[in-house]
Structure 1
Amino acid sequence: MVTVPVRGVDPIQAGRPRAGRRMTVGVEEEFLLVDRHTGTPVARGPRVVEAAMPLLGEQAQTEFFAPQVEVCTRPTATLAVLRSELALLRRVMVEAAASEGSLLVATGTPAVPPRRPPTVTPGERYRRMAARWSSLVGGYDGMVCGCHIHVGVTGHAEALALANHMRPWLPTLQAIAANSPFSLGRDTGWASHRSVEWARWPGVGPAPLLDEAGYERLAGHLVRSGTLLDRRMIYWHARPSEHVPTLEIRVCDVNADLDVVVLLTALVRGLATSLMPDIGNGQPPPDLRDPPLHAAHALAARRGLTGEGLDPAREEYVPAVTLAERLLERAAPGLAVTGDLDLAEELFDRVRRSGGGAARQRTAHLRRGRLTDVVSELARTTAAA
């Protein structure tokens, strides 16, 4: 499908990112609630959100499963403001969780299994989803927590154009964000087991190459055919938001270390800003073959930043850290425009040295071989923001 050129891009300036437009960013973070003694997920999400709402209002929300909660920032053009707001949202939710005898934990999957299958949060839409996909919600697995990053766009046409051009880079973003090696009491062997569990839902995966008309046709077909309940279930790794003018990147695990969230947001906006000249010039997006693209995402989920990664555009295996360095290099022009290049380089160096969230969880486990130590470390880091 041919990408629609983005209106409003000055062809004279198309060779470089324009300093006059700074995309806004916003973040949604999903968290687990666990018992403060045992580390097991506890179904206290609605009560915790109710306790937080006097301070946070609709920025605190329930999630599909009752042991989960979500926070949402307002749009901002400044990463320092974003970080401060995320820190405030976390602090309020940590205190609300404590008032209900639980800990707020930022991890993609629960390390310690629940004592019983998780309940679905009350609500008409969640009830319909649970009924239609009962095989996905009736067991002990399925509770996954992501970090969704939004960049402000002019509309669906621009969001889709950016999504088309960003496809080769999203596996690397996924690798940097990997933070779910443990699930249901065991080391899964994956850096991001959330990616495995999340992929069981319909509508999850790399976004197809679409222009605005193609998106409308496909979205309408998916809903009318019953493949999806509604357009909100279009869970592609990059999708146009249906309720705000943003492109939403949905490939990341939630991370306990807030600096990782800031880095991921900086990279997403820097990459989007750097790609805008290509879109303005009418340059077609990379025409990736599906097998290497899916393999790149699978390898990113398996290895994170350790070992090999796969470049889906060049179809070559290289160290995952090399792919992350290439992503930072590609995003650098856009990061320079927003004044975030030095910060991104500093935060990236920290993540490279630590190995990322999955490596930090495994290090915590190695000390005594106890998953409760992993949960405690995650809770401390989540609260330290």
Structure 2
Amino acid sequence: MAVGVEEEFHTVDLETHRLLPRADSLLDQLPVERFGAELQRSVVETNSRPFLRLIDLAEDLAALRRGVVASAEPLGLGIVAAGTVPVVDLDALKVTPDPRFENMLEEYQLLAREQLICGAQVHVDVGDRDLAVKIAHRLAPRLPALLALSASSPYWLGGDTGYASYRTLLWSRWPTTGPVGDFASAAEYDAMIDDLIRSGVITDRGMIYFDIRPSAHLPTIELRICDACPRVEDVVLLAGLFRALVIQEMDAVAEGRPAPRVRGEVVRAMNWRAARAGLEGELVDPADGTPMPAPVQIRRMLGELRPTLERMDDWDLVSELTDAVLRGGGSAARQRAAYAEGGLGQVVDLLLAETRANTEWAPGAGPARTQVTGMLAGYDSSADEAVVFDGSARGPYGLLMNTLERLGPDGLADRERERDEVQRQLGMTFRVPGEDHDRLFPVDVIPRIVAAEDWAPLQAGLAQRVKALELFLHDAYTDRHAIRDGVLPAWVVDEAPGLRPDGRLVPRSATRIAVAGIDLVRDGAGRWAVLEDNLRVPSGIGYALANRRLSARILPELLRAVPMTTPARAMTMLHEALVGDASGLALVTSGESDSAYFEHKLLARELGVPLVTPGQLSFDGDGVWADGNRVEVLYRRIDEDELFEAPGADGRRLGPALLTAVARGELRLANAPGNGLGDDKALYAYVPRLIEYYLDERPLVDGVPTYLCRDEEAREQVLDRLDELVLKPVDGYGGAGVTIGPDASRAELDGARERLLAEPGRWIAQETVRLSTHPVFEDGRLRPRAVDLRVFVSQDEGGPRTVPVALTRVAPEGSRVVNSSQGGGSKDTWLMQ
């Protein structure tokens, strides 16, 4: 569940410490998609990207602060993140020259002129706007604790107000602030807003300022009660706590638990108490309405949220940040201590210093930020894994970016030439269907890094997925328990293009999925999702190994310095999965005409097994033979239909003899015939149910929302949204037959519509994922390209295990299709430990 933040900042004169209406001079220098104006010309607003991980959010918030501070200081301006600034000249300040803001000034007069305040708003994606409306009211009694944590506005117009958050009192004078009411649906909530607009009290939906509100057009819920916070870590803390509160209430709604019964008048009183006291006084206990020391209530809330925070992997960071703020006290107390030492000037100096110091803060990060500005001109980092919007390195990419900066464009071009030479020496090529010559397999010189925080849960989740699919394949070809118990309808199996009668010949004791290739996508928020399961002839392990060898030649200094998984175990794990307790392993290929023949040769060499073509296979009463050697396991890198139709050494079709040997247990095919049933696109929609059914576990890695077009209701929705969705044939692979709605022309959409209506059962549709991007080196610059990730899972007698190599595939410019046959490329992938 992604979380994002909007922060508001005051612009002040660095010498006089007065609030100045100079935000417009900053905004002229800053990207409009991340920085914006507010009602007052003394306020700049920043908008973070939404993120799944709080550490990524922290990096983005720090980068935004860096951007606004860097633009302000050459102009003699300072940036303050606080609810109010103590030194203000109301007569010198003007609203932003915008018709909407000017109308607000005309309508609301002094109320608008005095809105010299800044807040921090947290947005959480709940996936459903009706749900957002339902939980908004339920959360109201929990918000005063968050207000107390953020309280940073004790001073107003040169004096101490006696409040920790005087901003709250200024803000509460608007007619649409305070606790939100109880609404049964988004439609009912929207009708209330229509009534308010019709009354003339407000002019548009943007003037709904409740303490918490559903978005007007997105399935998100927004926290609005908090002051702006001088320290980034406090903003990250608010984001983590609010998201956990949202998830807790979502669970309560799903389980049918009643909402807490706290009257709106009491909630208003609780908010007032939090604004008055901050962290230094008492808050009102939402459970029984009695006073309680703020730190006690906040620690109690933290304890109640622990299971949810642990579920989101937020517990360690959020508990650490909570301890820090409760030990050090809130911003209001720090400001009062500064005033006691040096008056209002020292208060502003404190706020300026705290806001500026935290431009570098991120959990576990040092103060230095690596920037590769020379090669990032015009770089779009809006969904990037490696680059923050200001050109600094994200997450684990600091060391890599340092190396890129040191090498520069000329040095990277030299590494590219070395890469090409090594590829030629290795014969690292592939062939596009329809072409009569081989190409060098496209490999970008800049590796992709998968952080340990991502890799560890992916390993567990993909092993879980393959284990359930293995059980399903055995069940589908034998007892069909899942169909009998209503987990999925019979047509999913009976009408699947991948269903093969030959699949029933595989013994129950055999492992059907020796190696799986699971395709994952990651969006800009950091959410991973399974896009496809490849259980027939998954390719890519060999190219992943070869990519690592290229990195060892062109970036040896980095490989020695970065703690990552080693691919040395990959071939051992693969060999163990293929052979088991058998002997006589051979890899079968269609031969040099195969586009992936390089990979077949490499794998056979690394596994130490013969590489054979169908014409080298023969049979006798003792089993299967290849060039005089007994074969008990055939690792096939050829489609099963092509293998079975191919002539053997005796000139006859291989199918009957091979399948007889499989049925007798004399030969194991890896992967087993009929596995196409398990990677059918229609079955994909049911995999979460299969995991719960066979394993009694919650799926650990999500899939992409999928619509089965044979269902009339789903089909109508797909037809209405064809330009928004991805349409796929259920038996397709390699990107063939796929229509990506947002990227398709009108003619392409019309053709897709005709094909769907002609054979609705052949198609599924999926929500379009905005793929994360990664830098590639091209024409002397770094450019963002969409990427996915193929992870390999092998199975032996110990169960499924993720192989410690993965293949990142890269889409061409302007495309989301990563397949090499359609112009895609690849990257070495560093899996962090």
Superposition TM-score, scaled by structure 1 size: 0.90
Kindly provide the amino acid, as one letter, of the partner of residue 344 in structure 2.
L
8 Å contact kept, 2:137–2:179: no
Query: Which structure has more helix as a fraction of its residues?
Result: 1
User: Residue 270 of structure 2: which of 272, 288, 296 is its match?
Assistant: 296
Work out whether 1:222 is the aligned partner of 2:196.
yes
Aligned residue in 2 for 1:107: 82
Aligned residue in 1 for 2:109: 134
8 Å contact kept, 1:269–1:334: no
Aligned residue in 1 for 2:135: 162
User: Residue 336 of structure 1: which of 310, 324, 331 is its match?
Assistant: 310
Q: Render the CA deviation track for 1:133-158: whole Å, top value 9, x for unaligned.
A: 113134xx321100000000223211
Q: Residue 217 of structure 1: CA displacement? A: 1.9
SS at match of 2:29: helix
User: Residue 29 of structure 1: which of 7, 12, 15 is its match?
Assistant: 7
Kindly provide the amino acid, as one letter, of the partner of residue 284 in structure 1.
P
User: Residue 282 of structure 2: which of 308, 318, 323 is its match?
Assistant: 308
SS at match of 2:271: helix
Aligned residue in 2 for 1:39: 17
SS at match of 2:257: coil
8 Å contact kept, 1:203–1:236: yes
d(CA) in 2 for partners of 1:67 and 1:216?
32
Superposition TM-score, scaled by structure 2 size: 0.42
Q: Render the CA deviation track for 1:298-346: whole Å, top value 9, x for unaligned.
A: 0000000112111244111111112111221222221111111011111
User: Residue 181 of structure 1: which of 128, 151, 154 is its match?
Assistant: 154
Distance 1:39 1:115, change over 3 A: farther
SS at match of 1:51: coil
Kindly provide the amino acid, as one letter, of the partner of residue 289 in structure 1.
R
RMSD of Structure 2 on Structure 1 (CA)? 1.3
Query: Whose relative contact order is higher, 1 or 2, with alpha carbons under 8 Å and at least 6 apart?
Result: 1
User: Residue 348 of structure 2: which of 375, 378, 382 is its match?
Assistant: 375
d(CA) in 2 for partners of 1:80 and 1:254?
19
Using the aligned pairs only, state the percent identity: 39
8 Å contact kept, 1:107–1:255: yes
Aligned residue in 2 for 1:116: 91
8 Å contact kept, 2:24–2:37: yes
Work out whether 1:272 is the aligned partner of 2:246.
yes
8 Å contact kept, 1:271–1:330: no
Work out whether 1:348 is the aligned partner of 2:326.
no
d(CA) in 2 for partners of 1:76 and 1:367?
40
Aligned residue in 2 for 1:63: 38
Residues 222-241 of structure 1 aligned to structure 2 (within 5 Å): 222-241=196-215
Distance 1:137 1:224, change over 3 A: same
d(CA) in 2 for partners of 1:41 and 1:384?
20
Aligned residue in 1 for 2:337: 363
- Structure 2: 5+ residue stretches without partners: 359-833
Comparing 106-115 with 169-178, greater Cα deviation is found at: 106-115
d(CA) in 1 for partners of 2:53 and 2:280?
31
SS at match of 1:58: coil
Aligned residue in 2 for 1:17: none
User: Residue 235 of structure 2: which of 246, 261, 267 is its match?
Assistant: 261
d(CA) in 1 for partners of 2:110 and 2:12?
24
Kindly provide the amino acid, as one letter, of the partner of residue 104 in structure 1.
I
Aligned residue in 2 for 1:324: 298
Distance 1:274 1:333, change over 3 A: farther
Aligned residue in 2 for 1:9: none
Aligned residue in 2 for 1:152: 125
Comparing 166-175 with 326-335, greater Cα deviation is found at: 326-335
Residues 81-92 of structure 1 aligned to structure 2 (within 5 Å): 81-92=56-67
Comparing 37-46 with 95-104, greater Cα deviation is found at: 95-104
d(CA) in 2 for partners of 1:198 and 1:89?
25
Q: Residue 41 of structure 1: CA displacement? A: 0.5
Q: Render the CA deviation track for 1:86-124: whole Å, top value 9, x for unaligned.
A: 000000100111132200001101111226342000111
Work out whether 1:77 is the aligned partner of 2:62.
no
d(CA) in 2 for partners of 1:277 and 1:159?
12
Kindly provide the amino acid, as one letter, of the partner of residue 48 in structure 1.
L
Kindly provide the amino acid, as one letter, of the partner of residue 215 in structure 1.
Y
Q: Render the CA deviation track for 1:22-59: whole Å, top value 9, x for unaligned.
A: x1000000010000001100110111111122xxx321
8 Å contact kept, 1:173–1:252: yes
8 Å contact kept, 2:233–2:321: yes
Kindly provide the amino acid, as one letter, of the partner of residue 130 in structure 2.
A
8 Å contact kept, 1:270–1:333: no
Comparing 297-306 with 227-236, greater Cα deviation is found at: 227-236
Comparing 272-281 with 231-240, greater Cα deviation is found at: 272-281
SS at match of 2:223: strand
Query: Which structure has more strand as a fraction of its residues?
Result: 2
8 Å contact kept, 2:69–2:78: yes
d(CA) in 2 for partners of 1:130 and 1:159?
31
Aligned residue in 2 for 1:14: none
SS at match of 2:33: helix
Aligned residue in 1 for 2:381: none
8 Å contact kept, 2:129–2:218: no
- Of structures 1 and 2, the larger Rg is shown by 2
8 Å contact kept, 2:281–2:293: yes
Q: Residue 243 of structure 1: CA displacement? A: 3.8
SS at match of 2:30: helix
8 Å contact kept, 2:26–2:71: yes
d(CA) in 1 for partners of 2:190 and 2:231?
37
Q: Residue 214 of structure 1: CA displacement? A: 2.3
8 Å contact kept, 2:2–2:52: yes
d(CA) in 2 for partners of 1:380 and 1:108?
16
Structure 1 runs, 4 residues or longer, greater than 4 Å off: none
d(CA) in 2 for partners of 1:177 and 1:45?
23
Distance 1:79 1:28, change over 3 A: same
Q: How many residues align?
A: 357
Kindly provide the amino acid, as one letter, of the partner of residue 350 in structure 1.
A
SS at match of 1:128: helix
8 Å contact kept, 2:210–2:224: yes
Kindly provide the amino acid, as one letter, of the partner of residue 168 in structure 2.
S
Q: Render the CA deviation track for 1:157-182: whole Å, top value 9, x for unaligned.
A: 11112212211100111111111111
Q: Render the CA deviation track for 1:195-245: whole Å, top value 9, x for unaligned.
A: 011111121111111122320221110111112111111100110111433
Q: Render the CA deviation track for 1:4-31: whole Å, top value 9, x for unaligned.
A: xxxxxxxxxxxxxxxxxxx100000001
Q: Render the CA deviation track for 1:334-362: whole Å, top value 9, x for unaligned.
A: 11111110111110011101221111111
d(CA) in 1 for partners of 2:76 and 2:136?
41
d(CA) in 1 for partners of 2:297 and 2:188?
31
